[in-house]
Amino acid sequence: MPLLLDMDVPKSGLKSGSGSSDHLMPLLLDMEGRKVVILGGGEVAERKARLFCHHAEVVVVSLEFTEGLMELAREGKLWIVAASLPEGAEGHLDGAFLAIPATDDKGLNSLLEERARSLGALVNRVDGRGEVVVPSILKKGEITIAISTGSPAFSRYLRRRLEAEMEGYAQMARLLGEIRPLLRGRIKSQAKRREILWQILADDEIWSLLGKSYGKAYIKARERISTDERDFIDAGDPPKG
């Protein structure tokens, strides 16, 4: 799960929501089994819940919930807790890895942020910048791209531009993932292995074949391994796909 963490959060006091992004550091975190508490039940809360419910254990606390949140709860993708805020947050923030104050009251969000941080949770704000910023995320196959520009509109624009090219990138990532074990098993020189991989990446014919036939692209990529070294590789049909 891609997150941008502000690595310059003070030990005490809340960070301004209009600070510089110079200290933001992009990280990929394994969110499996981690608790994410969303405080609020409106459309913003639902958007956050849809993002995190596939990666973490999500609890949504609010007096009212959108139909979308109710449906996610019925599907077993998250838990909802009917309670008023801020009182209803007590107990549910315990053990939270990430808290997301998502009410329509900025003052209440700040109060909930302070409470969450006092319990050791990271905070993603919806009305300012906390120490966690959720970027625009683009995922295809083995490729994950996180986009953060400071402008949500520009982030969405970049995402749309990249989406058109992602299929080819994902196929190349798959191809290299299958070629690398062959190289490691037959070529001792790391420099030589790296050179072959770069030759594959620079081969326009391989890129063109990826859009037509993965099998043919795979065969062409294997040709980059020298004849003597390739003779040691077990013969067989290229992967299907």
Domain ranges of the chain: 26-134, 155-230
- Check if CATH label 2.40.33.10 holds for domain 26-134: no
In tens, the pLDDT along 67-112 reads 999 999 999 999 999 999 999 998 999 999 999 999 999 999 999 9
**Whole-angstrom Cα distance, residue 239 to residue 20?**
48
Nearest to 100 by CA among 25, 45, 26, 28: 45
Instruction: State residue 8's pLDDT score.
Output: 55
Instruction: State residue 6's pLDDT score.
Output: 66
In tens, the pLDDT along 147-177 reads 888 787 888 888 888 888 888 899 999 999 9
Measured in degrees and rounded to the nearest 5, phi and psi for residue 219 equal: -60, -45
Measured in degrees and rounded to the nearest 5, phi and psi for residue 6 equal: -85, 110
Amino acid residing at 178? E
Is the model's pLDDT at 113 over the cut of 60? yes
